[in-house]
Structures are given as C-alpha cells and as structure tokens.
Amino acid sequence: MNVDLLLGKTQEHLVCLEGTNHLLHKDMLRDFLRLREDARDAGFELSVASAFRDYQRQESIWNAKASGQRPLLDESGRPLVFEVMSPTEIIFAILRWSAVPGGSRHHWGTDIDVFDERTQIKGDVKLIPSEVTQDGPAAPLHNWLDERIAASEAYGFYRPYETDRGGVAPELWHLSYSPLSVGLLESYNFTLFRKNIFESELILKSVLLDQAEEIYQRFMLNVDLP
C-alpha cells in the first residue's frame, strides 16, 4: 500500500472531473459519472462540493480551527465560543466536523461531498444538516440517493457518516466509493496515524498525541460500512 495515498501526500492516482477543479480517484470516475447521469434522469444535478483534499489543505483547516481563526460548530452546526473551551474540548469539537490531517477520507480521492446544483448555488453551499434534511434544498436529492443506495443501485457509493456513532457527525452529503475506500481503510493502521501526527506541526499536537488512540477508534474506524 502506498502510504502517501492514505495520507493525502500524493496526487498520482487522481484525475480531474471535467469542467471543475475537483480531483477524484481515477478508478472511481466512471461510476461517479454513471450516478450523476442517473441523477439527471431523475431531475437532480449531482455536483461535487469537495473531493480530494491534500494533506496541506487539511492541515490549514485544522490549524485555523485549532487557533480560533475559523469557527467551531456544535452538533447542529451553530458556532461555539472558542475562548471558553479547553484544548481537549477544542480538538473534539473540531473532530466532529473535520478530520485530523492525514486521517481524512478526502485524502484518498474516493470520498466526495455532494450537493444539488439545481436547487443550490455552488458558492452558497455550506454542507450543514439543514441543507439536506426536511425542507432543505438538497433533501430531495438525498432521498433519491437513499433509495438508490438501499437498492444497491448507486454503483458502489454509500454513506460512511449516515448514523451518529459518537464520532464524526452525520454527514449525508459525504459519499464514499466502497469498492476502493473499504480496502483503503483496512490498510490504514494506528501506527501510521500516530506517526503522522508525531511528525507534523499541527496546533494542539501534544493533546492530539495524548488522545491519539481514542481519536483513531472513534473518528476513523468507527464509520458505517456499506
């Protein structure tokens, strides 16, 4: 296994999604295009808000949140008050919505965040629960996806963050391509996870190292399976 691929430190397995600047795993592109075509037939425009994200990008998200420069959100997506939080509270609040750099499924190119471009404006998409549930603009798309996934007609795409397992918050917009991602998660291990943090310059690194075992179990391994 290419360790750099697991950590978001290579792009050699990726291709660009035509008409966008999003990079996807080359072995996933065909099935994504099929799913998008079926969505079109059903009246939706299945679009990518976020696909491959490299280590550097995840690191800048982490450091912005860990230093209070970017808002931390509670369970419902409302801002928390950074100034009154302990370092441990800060890292667990970040982890609810953002992965530790090196531990993001977006590093693999097999996972994408999606929205419905027929009902949502690209620049306004926030990827929060209210967009995808009840009367949210992407709710019809996700109801359609639910049916396709349940019928095994989603070409291998499924939701790793469908239920609240006490780790990452439910993220209906996050789809994963199981023919590739299941094997990638299996090839990941705790030694790699910890070593990557140890060698990093992440803000709150020492707190991360203290809690590494729990974080690995709760936020990486603890996902819904296809």
Both tokens of residue 19?
């008409």
Identify which of residues 54 and 113 has a Cβ nearer to Zn ion in the complex. Answer: 113
Tell me the C-alpha distance between 213 and 191, whole Å.
10
Identify which of residues 66 and 169 has a Cβ nearer to Zn ion in the complex. Answer: 169
Question: To the nearest whole angstrom, how small is the minimum distance from the Cβ of residue 210 to Zn ion?
Answer: 26
Q: Per-residue x/- mask for Zn ion, residues 173 to 192, rule CB under 5 A?
A: -x------------------
Helix axes 139-150, 29-41, angle to 10 degrees: 120
Question: To the nearest whole angstrom, how small is the minimum distance from the Cβ of residue 81 to Zn ion?
Answer: 25
Both tokens of residue 71?
């808002």
Q: Is 25 in the site for Zn ion (CB under 5 A)?
A: no
Identify which of residues 159 and 174 has a Cβ nearer to Zn ion in the complex. Answer: 174
Question: To the nearest whole angstrom, how small is the minimum distance from the Cβ of residue 91 to Zn ion?
Answer: 19
Site for Zn ion in 85-124 (CB under 5 A): 113
Question: To the nearest whole angstrom, how small is the minimum distance from the Cβ of residue 168 to Zn ion?
Answer: 9
Site for Zn ion in 155-174 (CB under 5 A): 174
Q: Is 131 in the site for Zn ion (CB under 5 A)?
A: no
Dihedral, CA atoms, 189, 190, 191, 194, nearest 10 degrees?
Answer: 130
Identify which of residues 113 and 131 has a Cβ nearer to Zn ion in the complex. Answer: 113
Instruction: Tell me how far the alpha carbon of residue 160 is from its chain's centroid.
Output: 9
The residue count of the chain comes to 226
Count of residues near Zn ion by CB under 5 A: 2
- Cβ atoms within 10 Å of 163's Cβ, excluding its own: 10
Residues with Cβ within 8 Å of 198's Cβ and at least 6 positions away in sequence, in order, are: 209
Pairing of strands 174-177, 111-116: antiparallel
**Closest residue to Zn ion, based on beta-carbon distance:** 174
Question: To the nearest whole angstrom, how small is the minimum distance from the Cβ of residue 171 to Zn ion?
Answer: 6
Tell me the C-alpha distance between 46 and 55, whole Å.
26
Name the site residues for Zn ion (rule: CB under 5 A): 113, 174
